[in-house]
Amino acid sequence: MKQSKKITTAEGETKVVANYFLGYKAHVSMNAENDLITSVEVSSGKDYDGHHFCTLVEADLEKGIPAATYAADKGYDDGENHYYLEIHGLNSAISLKKKPHRKEKTKTKRVGCK
């Protein structure tokens, strides 16, 4: 459930009901120098964006795409993603979430990426 909304029933009662997002997301890797899409992954609209970052980078690396820095919006700000880039010698330009959503210290399980 993404959020809730108020509705008015036929009897005139006001109720709060779940407002579900039904749909899909496209996670896209793009080469900024030539604006070409290099990798795409489609997921359910309810999936967490951060879990799709490493597979996009892996696909680019397997294709031999010369990239030194990866940028992404705040939806991909996850310790696993920053760590993945670090161990592969790549720079992170992932936008950071603002506090209080970003924790000071986190224990990373390192299970989401290789």
Is 64 inside a domain boundary?
yes
pTM above threshold 0.85: no
pLDDT value, residue 104: 55
Is 17 inside a domain boundary?
no
Is 12 inside a domain boundary?
no
pLDDT confidence band for 20 (50 / 70 / 90):
confident
Q: Let me know if 109 is exposed, middle or buried by CB neighbors in 10 A (0-12, 13-18, 19+).
A: exposed
Kindly report, residue by residue over 31-73, the tens digit of the pLDDT.
988 999 999 999 998 889 999 999 999 999 999 998 999 999 9
Tell me the three state secondary structure of residue 85.
helix
CA-CA distance, 73 to 53, in Å (whole number)? 11
pLDDT value, residue 111: 52
- Peptide bond before 66: cis, by omega within 30 degrees of 0? no
Is 87 inside a domain boundary?
yes
Is 2 inside a domain boundary?
no
Rounded to 5°, angle at Cα 107 from 84 and 43: 50
Is 42 inside a domain boundary?
no
Tell me the three state secondary structure of residue 79.
helix
Helix axes 53-62, 79-87, angle to 10 degrees: 20
**Total number of domains in the chain:** 1
**pLDDT-above-70 percentage for the chain:** 84
Is 32 inside a domain boundary?
no
Is 65 inside a domain boundary?
yes
- Residue 87: give the domain boundaries: 48-114
